[in-house]
Copies of this chain bind each other. A is one copy, B any other.
Amino acid sequence: MEQSRVLAALSALANETRLELVRALIGRGPAGMSAGDIAGTLGISASRLSFHLQQLEMAGLVTGRRESRHVFYAVDTAQVGRVIGYLLNDCCRSHPEVSACCAPGASSRAKAP
């Protein structure tokens, strides 16, 4: 994966509204969620949601598909995996202390040094 794609994805994720959006969507799997439902769940305006969905879509992190009058959005999990894989393997060169986050049971709550 090219670095420019990774940078676009990181920029997209580096925003509270969009990170919440990904969290909300990833739980729904490939079926996703309609724009209206997302706006209701997150409590944001339609135009604000549309703006952030566009950012995520341009970064390749979510995809939308129209079904009659609704548009359903879902996370492209493979793409998210590729971005994390870049950080892990290409950027951090599989540094053991970084890769520890992958270990079974590991989480972001891992104790500080």
Query: A residues 34-57 with Cβ under 8 Å of B?
Result: none
Which chain B residue lies CB-closest to A97? B77
In the complex, how many angstroms separate the beta carbon of A56 from the nearest chain B beta carbon?
13
Query: A residues 45-88 with Cβ under 8 Å of B?
Result: 77-78, 80-88
Q: CA of A97 to CA of B100 in the docked complex: distance in angstroms?
A: 19
The interface on chain A, measured as residues whose beta carbon lies within 8 A of the other chain's beta carbons, has a size of 45
Interface flag for A13 (CB, 8 Å): yes
- Contact at B87–A84, with CB atoms within 8 Å? yes
Query: A residues 73-113 with Cβ under 8 Å of B?
Result: 77-78, 80-93, 95, 97-102, 106-110, 112-113
Residues of B within 8 A of A87 (CB): 13, 80, 84
Interface flag for A7 (CB, 8 Å): yes
Query: Which residues of A pack against B, CB within 8 Å?
Result: 1, 3, 6-7, 10-11, 13-16, 19, 22-23, 26-27, 77-78, 80-93, 95, 97-102, 106-110, 112-113
